[in-house]
Amino acid sequence: MMKIANAPCSWGALEFDLEEKSEEIGFEQVLDEIKETGYIGTELGDWGYMPTTPSLLKVELDKRHLDLLGAFVPVALVKESNHDAGMVSALKVAELMFNAGYKNSFIVLADDNGSVPERTKNAGRITRAMGLTEEQWKVYAAGAEKIAKAVKDAYGIRTVFHHHCAGYVETPEEIDKLMALTDPNLLGLCLDMGHYAFGGGDPVKALKKFSKRIWHVHFKDYSPEAAKDSRAVNGDYFDAIKRGVFCELGKGAVDFQSIVKILEEMRYNDWIVVEQDILPGMGNPKICAQANRDYIKSLGL
């Protein structure tokens, strides 16, 4: 049976170092509202957002009957000099989840998205000239495998890679490349429907293509209209988010009916995490979370 979770990023608690950070909603309110809107799990959020003491973290989640299913770990993998520090970060997060009792959770490894100006500026319209060289790809893939192996060896926790706009692995071709360069037994794929669509691909095709490699799923919708409006003013990734490029589920271009059918055919029996990325202070996250949960119920989940 597929289980439905939400994540702090839907409340504007993002990993990016933003001016709006002071407007972040506290984790207690986020967890309360995740529970109140009908979800049964959450991701950890940025390190330090939730308690980093295992017993305290478990108390907060248990009192709301929520499970913890993973944690986002950004690492600038293109530079080999970042790999060891990235491994330390991933191990720190894995240790917290393991010691709090969440041994089936995932490390959701990603690029240090939003840190490379060219990629951030051109999110949703990346060309091959903005991509990595063959040598850079080798370094990138080796770093991802190194981190995944360290986490698996130390705690038995699996790692999935989260492709992401405003990072070096955004387009379908770039995702294909990373998957081809990495061990399928070591590194899974976190397929994010909204990021895949914003990056120029069809999530339905990706689901069929990578069915055996997909260990974790993010439900996010994508608004072509918001992307078009952002392109018209030469807006960057954050401009697109402000315009609602990741809209409520069912209001964008992602074919969730087909996606649910394929997941059922795949006998996918794990977490679906709703992520409707917003910037701190945007909109009404609880109302959106409820609308997204209601929409997923309409799909039979």
Q: Residue 271 maps to which CATH number?
A: 3.20.20.150
| Cβ proximity of 207 and 214 under 8 Å | yes
* Whole-angstrom distance, CA of residue 218 vs CA of residue 270: 11
* Whole-angstrom distance, CA of residue 42 vs CA of residue 97: 12
Listed in order, strand segments (DSSP E) in the chain are 3-6, 41-43, 67-74, 106-110, 158-162, 187-192, 214-219, 271-274
* Whole-angstrom distance, CA of residue 213 vs CA of residue 43: 20
Domain that holds residue 273: 3-298
Instruction: List the helix and strand counts (H, then E) for the chain.
Output: 12, 8
Residue 53: partners with Cβ closer than 8 Å, 6 or more residues away: none
* Whole-angstrom distance, CA of residue 164 vs CA of residue 126: 12
Residue 299: partners with Cβ closer than 8 Å, 6 or more residues away: 256, 257, 260
Residue 52: partners with Cβ closer than 8 Å, 6 or more residues away: 96
| pLDDT by residue, tens only, the chain of 301 residues | 899 999 999 998 876 554 544 457 899 999 999 999 999 999 999 999 999 999 999 999 999 999 999 999 999 999 999 999 999 999 999 999 999 999 999 999 999 999 999 999 999 999 999 999 999 999 999 999 999 999 999 999 999 999 999 999 999 999 999 999 999 999 999 999 999 999 999 999 999 999 999 999 999 999 999 999 999 999 999 999 999 999 999 999 999 999 999 999 999 999 999 999 887 778 899 999 999 999 999 999 9
pLDDT of residue 128: 95
pLDDT of residue 280: 76
pLDDT in tens, 254-264: 999 999 999 99
pLDDT in tens, 230-275: 999 999 999 999 999 999 999 999 999 999 999 999 999 999 999 9
pLDDT of residue 15: 60
Structural domain total, the chain:
1
pLDDT of residue 25: 86
* Whole-angstrom distance, CA of residue 82 vs CA of residue 5: 31
pLDDT of residue 19: 53
